[in-house]
Structure 1
Amino acid sequence: MSLSFISPPEPESNRKLAYLGLAILLYVGMLLLPTPAGLTTSGQVALGLLVLVIVLWISECVSPANSAIVLTGAAVLGLMGHPLRAGGPPMSSTAALSTMLTGFSSTAVLLVAAALFLAVALKLTGLDRRVALLVMSKVGISPSRLILGAMLVGFVLALFIPSATARVGAVIPIMVGVTAALGLPVASSLGATLMIVTASACSIFNMAVKTGAAQNLISLNFMEQAFGHTISWGGWFVTTLPFTLGMCVVLYIAAILVLRPQVPAKAEAEARLAEEVSKLGPITAAEKRLMAVAVLLLALWSTEGTLHPFDTATTTQIGIALLLMPRIGVMHWSQAEKLVPWGTIILFAAGISLGTLMATTGAAAWLAQVTLGQLGLGALPVFMVVGALSLFSIVLHLGFASATGLASTLIPIMIAFAQTLPVGREVAFGIVLIQSFVVSFGFILPTNAPQNMLCYGTGAFTIAQFAKVGVIVTVAGWLLIMLLSATLWPMMGVL
């Protein structure tokens, strides 16, 4: 019988299968090693799981949701028969599974899910496109004004959309349209500039807004468990404000000097933009209702802990409930569920479960001691400790495509290490808080963040162009963190 109709496996499938096999092999190998001194058997399993997911996340051999399923299954098999804590009873499969499902009960997961529903509402009503077009039509047609317009659009959308991918996905068609309206190809100097600025500004505003990125919420979840308190939406915004303003200035200068964008006569572009705005038509009733809810949420977020006692998760849930109500709302569940990236939510919850497991079993503390603890950082001034940890995080980020995955991996280790330093709990909290900002440093390679890859997929810029701007922004950002850690942040009570 002929088998010629069977297609040979694709090289990409072989590569993914090889990486999956490597991840599993490394995990099993970790479990077979002798348990190191000072580490429990469950802690050894947690470190094995860490190695497993790092390979899965870096290689992207399985989807984010699938990596969470692989992680959970491997954890149950590894933890069965071992006590969660030293001296405790051995865990059954049910107990092990319950341990790995703890992340799904976190309020941070609920907040991420609700915020993604808000992003869907913006997309369904078209309000995100209206905001972006109106901003770009008002800033004017010149390289400097268009760069500022791209940044402004990114900031406004970051206030309401917690998904970097969703924000950039809404902005890319508008930036391509601006470039085309000027009669330029997408790969022109202007097209490259707008796309690189869009991606990099997205990473900056991930750090600026507490609800701007899932990695912020996963970091704060770990910090609240470890330190017993968190930071409000307004407190986060004020803390990051001098840093993000400085980063925007650096990005603006780097884009102008490195990419040197050029534009032709502006009359046609202004006419095209005006035409696009006119196609939007008048503001719909649904858009007005959504704007009312968005403004209400922004007011509640920014006054959290001062004018009312409700946390960000609670107020966001109220907002989503309003958006789903008949007549008052702007969407139905059947519409929203098709557009929400459920895989992101599953990965987020699994990441919290892994971080909690590492903290509970002592694996994070052990790993922090045998790595960061050997650097002698405890004798250094706090700002130098922050600088060393930030540099460590930046280098580690080069291998990660998911900031959520990096936060799940890195923040528990940073917490464990900060707790060993000869500083108070508030200062230790501040040190980890700054590291949660650095998790969003995805400036150097297109593969460092999903929004980078979306912009790179337009063909507007080369990897070399992106890296030239990214290295400048990264180095300047690291130096700015050191400067603020030595001056302003201690004065603000962060350190």
Structure 2
Amino acid sequence: MDKKSPKSKKTKWTALVFAIIVMVTIGFLLPPFHGLPVAGQRALGILAFAVLIWVTEAVTYPVSAAFIIALLTVLLGLSPSLSGGGGLIGSKTALEWALSGFSSAATALIAGALFLSAAMQETGLDKRVALIVLSKVGSTVKGILVGVILVGIFLAFFIPSPTARVGAMIPIILGMVTAFGLPKNSRLSALLLLATAHTATIWSIGIKTATPQNMVGLNFIEKAFPYSVSWLQWFLAAAPWSLVMTILLYLVLLFLVPQETKVIASGKDVVKKQLQELGRMPFAQIRLFFIAFFALVLWATEGSLHPFDSTTIVIILVSLLLAPGIGVLSWSNVEKLIPWGTIILFAAGISLGTVLLKTNGAAWLAKIAFQTTDIRSLPILVIVAILAAFAILLHLGFASATSLAATLIPVAIAFVEGMKDPGTIHGMGIVLITQFAIGFGFILPVNAPQNMLAYGTGTFETKDFIKTGLLLTILGYGLLIVFSFTYWKWVNIL
């Protein structure tokens, strides 16, 4: 281990220096880009820097966020004013742009939802729910697989991090496999861990609040178009796709990860024993269940039975979780359980995307990326297919869908705004479906943190993940096209 560390550190330094060189080259050394303000050219340089350090993981994601904010403030502050009237943008205005992501309602929403995730971990409600579901599905391999998938879907409604959901499931699955008398690297372990990772990815697309990248995309979408997307509207649009994909996942895993046996001896008894060891449901878990259910009802009825949006609802939720006598969290515990770095990265990503839109960098990039084929003149369904494929291929180089959303969605919006009728709901639909495609992190373990978490258990090999993920990507993309021709047209998204 010690021998590899210097090499790893040297590689990261090399990647960081290369990213800086690319940024300086784009932002300062290249001739001015036609039709793009100096601030926009420098914003593109910062974007290139961000993409390179995200892809190479030259620094951790929270550290990358600090770099991005500092660079936006300094380099844009020293850029000529966008008005063309002379003078500089100034550090005050540039700082406001660089910190705009921290004042975004989307950042508040995901930060608040992470409190709910912390409460699930603190009280152990996630483990109890998992064991209750698994105790009902029998002792066949197929039944246990269904149970694991159902638990993953359930947790997606309440835990806004696919990584946290997989993290909650891993000890339960490995504990069950050990209790079944099977080795850690058994085919059953591979089946269940692959199911857990892929379910987390599939339902991150189906549920608005299931992952941070949805909030990043929606933040830009709702600012660019005269429409908002409620929790229920997102669910009605995306959940049917996720439901069909879940059925396909079940079939793909049974086909590609064959098992030595069809029935686990005393499997149901093992789960039942673990559940009995938890004892009676404590009052804290009961309170949390009702608080979480209350929030879910408010999310589902957003815009119909009440006037509160998703962010307001989650702020109410946080207040209840911390309230004396009602809640289940203390601030000292919250500080340890909340992944604050995720929130910082999330906010910095929104800031970068906002700057790309303000400085015309996103529009220029969209024009350059698609002008050779002029795909704006193509039918909407063909445009959707091209943008979705572009997002899926681009994701191969990203370990964070949140970072990819911050990079690609502003470009997609700028592209749509260049179409003949950008103000229609169909233009918004194109960007929304592109956002769905950004969630495709099926192929490589490094395509998503939840994949790496499952891979880190050592229960399956990279080839297992690739062969299941590649088929799921093909099926998911095909299903996305089918939905574009049918369901999404019927519900007036396209």
If the length of structure 1 is used for normalisation, what is the TM-score? 0.96
Correspondence 1:37 to 2:34: yes
Amino acid of the residue matched to residue 299 of structure 1?
V
Cα pair 2:142 2:262 within 8 Å, conserved: no
CA contact (8 A) 2:141 2:262 kept: no
More displaced, 159-168 or 180-189?
A: 180-189
Q: How far apart, CA to CA, are the structure 2 residues paired with 1:65 and 1:371?
A: 29
- Higher deviation after alignment, 135-144 or 467-476: 135-144
3-state SS of 2:298 partner: helix
Give the conservation status (yes or no) of the 8 Å contact 1:84–1:360: no
Q: CA deviation at 1:75?
A: 1.9
State the 1:252 CA deviation.
1.0
What is the rounded CA distance, in whole Å, between the counterparts of 2:478 and 2:83 in structure 1? 42
Instruction: Figure out how many residues of one structure are paired with residues of the other and give that number.
Output: 490
Give the whole-Å Cα distance in 2 for the aligned partners of 1:362 and 1:314.
31
2:8 to 8, 12, 30: 12
Other-structure match for 1:487: 486
Q: After superposition, where does 1:233-248 map in structure 2 within 5 Å?
A: 233-248=231-246
Offset, 1:8? 11
Aligned to 1:467: 466
Over residues 94-151 of structure 1, what are the superposed CA-to-partner deviations in whole Å (9 max), with x where a residue is unaligned? 3222220111100111111100011000100000110111111111122221221111
Q: Once structures 1 and 2 are overlaid, which stretch shifts more, 174-183 or 335-344?
A: 174-183
How far is 1:476 from its partner?
0.7
Secondary structure of 1:374's counterpart equals coil
Tell me the equivalent position of 1:22: 18
1:169 aligns with: 167
Q: C-alpha separation between the residues in 1 aligned to 2:263 and 2:361?
A: 61
- 1:98-109 map, 5 Å: 98-109=96-107
AA aligned to 1:156 is F
Unaligned runs of 5+ in 2: none
Determine the structure 1 residue equivalent to 2:206.
Answer: 208
State how far apart, in whole Å, the 2-side matches of 1:242 and 1:181 are.
Answer: 36
| Separation (CA, whole Å) in 2 of partners of 1:84 and 1:481 | 42
CA deviations 1:269-328 (Å, max 9, x no partner) are 222211110111111111111011001000000000000010000011101101101111
Letter in 1 for 2:61: P
Residue 377 in 1 paired to residue 375 in 2?
yes
Match status 1:362 vs 2:364:
no
For 1:147 and 1:372, how far apart are their aligned partners in 2?
43
CA distance in 1, matches of 2:400, 2:144: 29
Aligned AA for 2:179? A
What is the Cα deviation at residue 9 of structure 1? 6.9
Please give the residue correspondences for 1:269-418 in structure 2 after superposition, counting only pairs within 5 Å: 269-418=267-416
| Residues 9 and 306 of structure 1, relative CA distance in 2, 3 Å threshold | closer
TM normalised by structure 2 equals 0.96
For the residues of structure 1 that align with 2:440 and 2:249, how far apart are their CA atoms?
13
CA deviation after TM superposition for structure 1 residue 265, in Å: 4.9
Residue 233 of structure 1: CA displacement?
0.3
What amino acid sits opposite 2:60 in the alignment? S
- Give the match for residue 78 of structure 2: 81
Change (3 A) 1:178 1:9: closer
- The answer to whether the 8 A contact 2:106-2:219 is kept is yes
CA distance in 1, matches of 2:78, 2:263: 72
RMSD of aligned residue pairs (Cα, Å)? 1.6
Q: CA deviation at 1:188?
A: 1.7
Could you say what secondary structure the match of 2:458 adopts? coil
1:10 to partner: Cα distance: 1.6
Amino acid at match of 1:446: P
> How many Å separate the matches in 1 of 2:232 and 2:26?
43
Equivalent residues of 1:159, 1:212 under 8 A apart: yes
2:141·2:264 contact (CA, 8 Å) conserved in 1?
no
Unmatched runs of 5 consecutive residues or more in structure 1 = 1-6
The question of whether the paired residues in 2 share the 8 Å contact of 1:365 and 1:413 is answered with yes
How many percent of aligned residue pairs carry the same amino acid?
44
State the shift of 1:64 in Å.
1.1
Residue 55 in structure 1 maps to residue 22 in structure 2 = no
The one-letter amino acid paired with 2:58 is C
- 2:43 aligned partner: 46
What residue is the counterpart of 2:141 in the other structure?
Answer: 143
Deviates most, 234-243 or 354-363: 234-243
Residues 205 and 212 in structure 1, CA contact (< 8 A), matched pair in contact too:
yes
The corresponding residue for 1:220 is 218
Q: CA deviation at 1:84?
A: 5.1
| Alpha-carbon separation, structure 1, partners of 2:402 and 2:270 | 39
Residue 4 (structure 1) aligns with:
none
Deviations 1:372-394 (A, max 9, x none): 23322223221111111111001
- Say whether the 8 Å CA contact 2:207–2:239 is kept in structure 1: no
Q: What is residue 97 of structure 1 aligned with on the other side?
A: 95
Question: 2: distance between equivalents of 1:45 and 1:150?
Answer: 47
Whichever residue aligns with residue 14 of structure 2, its letter is: A
Aligned counterparts of 2:269 and 2:144: Cα–Cα separation in 1: 15
Paired residue secondary structure (1:10): helix
1:359-383 deviation per Cα after TM superposition (whole angstroms, max 9, x unaligned): 0110000100110233222232211
Report if aligned partners of 2:206, 2:240 keep a CA contact under 8 Å in 1. Answer: no
8 Å contact kept, 2:141–2:263: no
Deviations 1:23-58 (A, max 9, x none): 111111112211111111000011001100101111
- Equivalent position of 1:3 in the other structure: none
Residue 152 of structure 1 is matched in structure 2 by 150
CA drift of 1:229 comes to: 2.3
Query: For residues 140 and 462 of structure 1, do their structure 2 counterparts lie closer, same or farther at Cα, with a shift above 3 Å needed?
Result: same
Cα offset, 1:421, TM superposition:
2.1
Residues 421-430 or 188-197, more deviating? 421-430
- Whether the 8 Å CA contact 1:179–1:185 is kept in 2: the answer is yes
1:67 to 60, 64, 86: 64
3-state SS of the aligned residue for 1:458?
A: coil
Question: Which residue is equivalent to 2:111?
Answer: 113
Q: Secondary structure at the match of 1:231?
A: coil
How far is 1:86 from its partner? 4.0
Distance 2:419 2:486 in 1: 20
- For residues 8 and 135 of structure 1, the distance between their equivalents in structure 2, rounded to whole angstroms, comes to 43
Structure 2 CA distance for partners of 1:262 and 1:381, relative to 1, 3 Å: farther
Structure 1 CA distance for aligned equivalents of residues 271 and 128 of structure 2: 12
Query: 1:185 is matched by which residue type in structure 2?
Result: P
For residue 445 of structure 1, what is the aligned residue in structure 2?
A: 444
CA contact (8 A) 1:297 1:319 kept: yes
Which amino acid in 1 is paired with 2:38? T
Aligned partners of 1:43 and 1:107: how far apart in 2? 25
Question: How far apart are the structure 1 equivalents of 2:344 and 2:218?
Answer: 18
